[in-house]
Amino acid sequence: MNFTTDLSIIHLIANASMTVQLVMLLLLVLSLCSWLFIFQKLFGIRVAKIQTEEFEKAFRNVQTSTDLNALLQKAANHGTRAASIERICLSGYREFARLRRQPGQSMASVMDGVRRAMRATYQREMDHIEAYLNFLATVGSVSPYIGLFGTVWGIMHSFRGLANVGQATLANVAPGIAEALIATAIGLFAAIPAVVAYNHYARDVDRLANRFESQMEEFQNLLLRAPQ
């Protein structure tokens, strides 16, 4: 077998030590999972943006209590397909209607209840939107070190093998070093997309959170101006 064939990636992986192979397998699994979550968040956040824009546009056209009721009824009809911002506003409106039916409730106490209801729903929706972002952050920070562990272990294994060789040449050293370095390369391959995706999606989530909070304030102001 010639020197070039010995250094082919498939050959190096197949002939790596068991520990290095397990490290590579772990990194491959982490990379596949991170790519799955990257695409999941890509479509999920995009849909959340579109739904939020549609609700904000419809909300700006609300002029009367009838308009508000129609908007919220439409949101309620969406059921499980309702947008996050729709669920937030629906929870506030339902609490508003419930408290207004109770005698002796001041507007301040009613709005305080509305705020708490919307904040609780807001937190649940943000937890859903932020799902798996921590996993991407973990993969991005840990994968290079896992790959480095595989590299260090592979180099140690290679040097132990050279102990029985009378003369260490490049042909003797190169395959062991190369198979060890593949672990670091796979670690970087897993880490870089995860870090880029996490930073991008974290900014998108922050923007969505700000839009939700602004919409919550506008919705509460509308309830104050036109109580039901």
Is 128:143 a contact under the CB 8 Å cutoff? no
Better pLDDT: 163 or 49: 49
Over residues 68-75, mean pLDDT: 86
Domain containing residue 176: 3-225
Better pLDDT: 181 or 6: 181
Across 70-79, 125-134, 140-149, 210-219, least confident range: 70-79
Taking the C-alpha atoms of residue 165 and residue 10, their distance in angstroms, rounded to an integer, is: 25
Beta strands in the chain (DSSP E): none
**Pair of tokens at residue 111:** 């709005």
Name the band, by pLDDT with cuts 50, 70 and 90, for residue 14: confident
**Pair of tokens at residue 180:** 């060890």
Number of Cβ within 10 Å of residue 55's Cβ equals 22
> What pLDDT score does 179 carry?
75
Name the band, by pLDDT with cuts 50, 70 and 90, for residue 170: low
User: Any residues with CB less than 8 A from the CB of 223 and at least 6 apart, and which?
Assistant: 92, 93, 96, 111, 114
> What pLDDT score does 5 carry?
44
Three-point CA angle 26, 32, 34, nearest 5°: 100
Q: Which residue has the tokens 């060789």?
A: 165
Better pLDDT: 173 or 132: 132
Chain centre distance of CA 2: 46
Domain count, the chain: 1
Q: Please state, for a pLDDT cut of 90, what percent of the chain lies above it.
A: 51
Supply the pTM of this predicted model: 0.81
